[in-house]
Amino acid sequence: VKSRPLPMANNNRNKSKSRADDPDPVDSPLTSLASTSLNPPPEDDTIVQINRHFTDYNLRLRSLLRSNTDNTQQITDLSNRFTGFEVKMDNFFSRLDSALPDPT
């Protein structure tokens, strides 16, 4: 069974009607591409503020990440020192226990 193509008469009529209804390019709400590339619009203050806030937050995030790394390193160092202290205390008490007579 062959499929039949849809009639094109309605489509052509709709296209010609839409072209006739199109506004004049001068009245168009869209800015032409050529005019935007030659004269870029001035940046809106809100865009500048958003960019500034983004930069500030980016710097804060990087600072926090850096300080987290520093804090993690300090915690690791303290943990290693504490572990070393525990080992020394265990050795001290084991020597003390071996030097003292058994109470039983």
CA dist., res. 58 & res. 50, Å (int): 12
Instruction: Decide which of 62 and 44 is more confident.
Output: 62
- DSSP letter at 103 equals -
- pLDDT level of residue 57 (50, 70, 90 thresholds): very high
pLDDT, residue 44, reads 73
Which of 18, 60, 14 is CA-nearest to residue 6? 14
Q: Which run of H or of E encompasses 80?
A: helix 45-99
pLDDT, residue 100, reads 84
Q: Are 25 and 32 in contact (CB under 8 A)?
A: yes
Instruction: Decide which of 8 and 57 is more confident.
Output: 57
Whole-model pTM above 0.85? no
CA dist., res. 64 & res. 68, Å (int): 6
The least confident of 4-8, 42-46, 81-85 is 4-8
- Give the residue-averaged pLDDT of 81-103: 90
